[in-house]
Amino acid sequence: MTTANTAPVTVWKIQEIDFHSEANYAHPFRDVELRVTFTAPSGLSSMVNAFWDGDNIWRVRFSPNEPGTWKWQSTSRPADDAGLHNKEGDFECVADKADESSIPLAPLRLSENRRYLVNSDSSPFFWLADTAWNGVLRAKDEDWKRYLITRKKQGFTAVQFVSTQWRGGTRTLPGPVYIGEKDISVNIDYLQAMDNRVAEINRQGLIAVPVLLWALTETDPGRALPEQDAIRLARYLVARWGAHQVVWFLGGDGRYQNVKRWKHIGREVFTGRKDDDPMKRLHTLHPSGGNWINTNFGNEPWLDFTGYQSSHGNHPQSLQWLTSGPPASNWNDQPIRPIINLEPNYELIPGPPSMIPHSPQHVRRAAYWSMLVSPPAGVSYGHHVIWPWNDRLDDIEGHAAAGKADAWFTGLETEGITAMIALRRFFESGPWTDLRPHPSLLADQPGKKHPQKFAAAAQTKDRSWTVIYLPEGGDIQLKANELPGKRQAFWTNPRTGKSETSKTNNLSFIAPDKKDWLLEIRIDSD
């Protein structure tokens, strides 16, 4: 028996089809492969893996991108199961008239110049993600919805989370996602409970960003599982959630030293879908602190954008890795890709080596540096109490050095969040996608002697917008030949987003106080 949704599905919404095997399989997770080919009204086709969902049930989820009649046909291994193999059908897809005036939540793509991400109508997508690593794994449905509604109102656009047990969640989880160490199976009951929380991310208008295989320690699935099991597990999760609007992190927090293994996993899991395939989604790696994935993976066809982690360190070397290391010096390497800091300093997390909790100023500093030392595509945010998702003040599993974390809801409204709201509004007030790092604007770089005072500078090609971030106020001297002749300068407070006209309009600028400030210079239209 095969069943499908009978009501027409709207463009980019999920069409789910169920299959019921006639045979009973001892190991259905690994012994059965079911694929369904969907053919669009225009004739384009897309092949999608189905996933086992308990007992003798397999499901396929698909998000159509064209209105009209879609046809589908299944193939399975083994091919002698009449409940799975050579089944066919069709369904209707309609345009969502209610959404015609707005941008539908659809797959993200790269901009034409490959510097940033874009929506379905090619408008810029500002990546402002929160790292709720344990959220989908641990949250109660009502708490998860409250969190997502809050983040959407605050202007966040994506949520990063871990998909399986990992160093930060094994004994504290309701159950393991996968079972065993070799020839693994999956925990269907737990995955079905997670489904709603993954879907809720899209329902609240946010992009879901799952980590498939966390990979820092020897017990994390990205390193602990045999290669074939890692591939099978990642493929399964992609089949289960791939019809949602997601961006995939193949690995999480990895050093990826076994380059051959990770290249093979990436190629096997992300099979080179074309941009016009409705199931095409973006993929990258989330590396551990201070690792630059382009060194070994820069030519991988499945790596759509460069993610990095500037880490939680507060010593000069950590700061300099961000301001003068690969993000600042290698952003123009070929092939061109968007560059996004996926894990900067978290608000209130103890920063090594001093283990003093990072202040909101540290959060702002890392975020603005990240946006200005490379062509901006966005930035992620994190809070010490959100990512572990504790219900009360408690230890953090697998992170003894980080101390305890308070209940997750204490991180919903913070000074750091206010600054992230201001950051997005600031950049979207100007042609942010045209900004390029421009360190030669500065007559002198205060970060040479004091890394924490590094002034990050960027400018558009036509010089219509110049942006400089000063972490500790002070004065800055600019070069005349790098600025437009007729100009107006403003100081913007990154804590509030409020601006005031600069008292000087020559080449020397003095910040209002010793706190962090943004200096922006625009062409004077008068």
> Residues 111-127: pLDDT tens digits?
999 999 999 999 999 99
Q: Residue 352: what residue type?
A: P
Measured CA to CA, the distance from residue 369 to residue 39 in angstroms comes to: 46
* Per-residue pLDDT tens digits for 454-505: 999 999 999 999 999 999 999 999 998 888 888 899 999 999 999 999 876 6
The structure tokens listed for 159 are 């949520």
The CATH number given to 109-430 is 3.20.20.80
Tell me the chain's radius of gyration from C-alpha atoms: 24
CATH class of the region 438-523? mainly beta
* Per-residue pLDDT tens digits for 281-329: 999 999 999 999 999 999 999 999 999 999 999 999 999 999 999 999 9
pLDDT-above-90 percentage for the chain? 92
pLDDT confidence tier of residue 163, bands split at 50, 70 and 90: very high
The pTM of this model reads 0.97
DSSP assignments along 344-398, one per residue: -PPBTPEETTTTEEPPHHHHHHHHHHHHHHS---EEEE-BTTTTTT-SSSEE-TT
Mean pLDDT of 402-425: 97
Beta strands in 177-274 (DSSP E): 178-179, 185-186, 207-214, 247-254
Give the CATH superfamily of 2-99. Answer: Immunoglobulins (2.60.40.10)
Q: Could you identify the residue written with the tokens 């925990």?
A: 187
What is the residue extent of each domain of the chain?
2-99, 109-430, 438-523
What is the torsion angle, in degrees rounded to the nearest 10, for the CA atoms of residue 132, residue 137, residue 139 and residue 144?
Answer: 60
The structure tokens listed for 8 are 């027409």
CB-CB contact of 134 with 384 (8 Å): no
Kindly tell me if the per-residue pLDDT of 1 is higher than 80. Answer: no
Q: Residue 287: what residue type?
A: P
Q: What is the pLDDT of residue 10?
A: 94
Residue-wise burial string across 197-218, b where 16 or more C-beta atoms lie within 10 A, e elsewhere: bbebbbebbbbbbbbbbbbbee
What is the torsion angle, in degrees rounded to the nearest 10, for the CA atoms of residue 364, residue 109, residue 212 and residue 27?
Answer: 160
Fold match flag (2-99 vs 438-523): yes
Output the CA–CA distances (angstroms, integers) from residue 409 to 131, 141, 334, 386, 439, in the order listed: 14, 14, 42, 7, 40
CB-CB contact of 298 with 267 (8 Å): no
Q: Residue 357: what residue type?
A: P
What angle separates helix 188-203 from helix 227-241, to the nearest 10 degrees? 50
Measured CA to CA, the distance from residue 127 to residue 117 in angstroms comes to: 8
Mean pLDDT of 403-421: 98
Burial of residue 492, with CB atoms counted within 10 A of its CB: 0-12 exposed, 13-18 middle, 19 or more buried: buried
Q: What is the pLDDT of residue 505?
A: 63
Mean pLDDT of 179-205: 97
DSSP assignments along 292-351, one per residue: -THHHHTT-TT--SEEE---S--SHHHHHHHHHSHHHHSTTPSSP--EEESS-PPBTPEE
Q: What is the pLDDT of residue 199?
A: 97
* DSSP code, position 234: H
Of 135-149, 213-227, 270-284, where does mean pLDDT reach its minimum?
270-284
Kindly tell me if the per-residue pLDDT of 97 is higher than 70. Answer: no
Three-class SS of residue 258?
A: coil
Q: What is the pLDDT of residue 123?
A: 96
Average pLDDT, the chain: 95
Measured CA to CA, the distance from residue 354 to residue 385 in angstroms comes to: 19
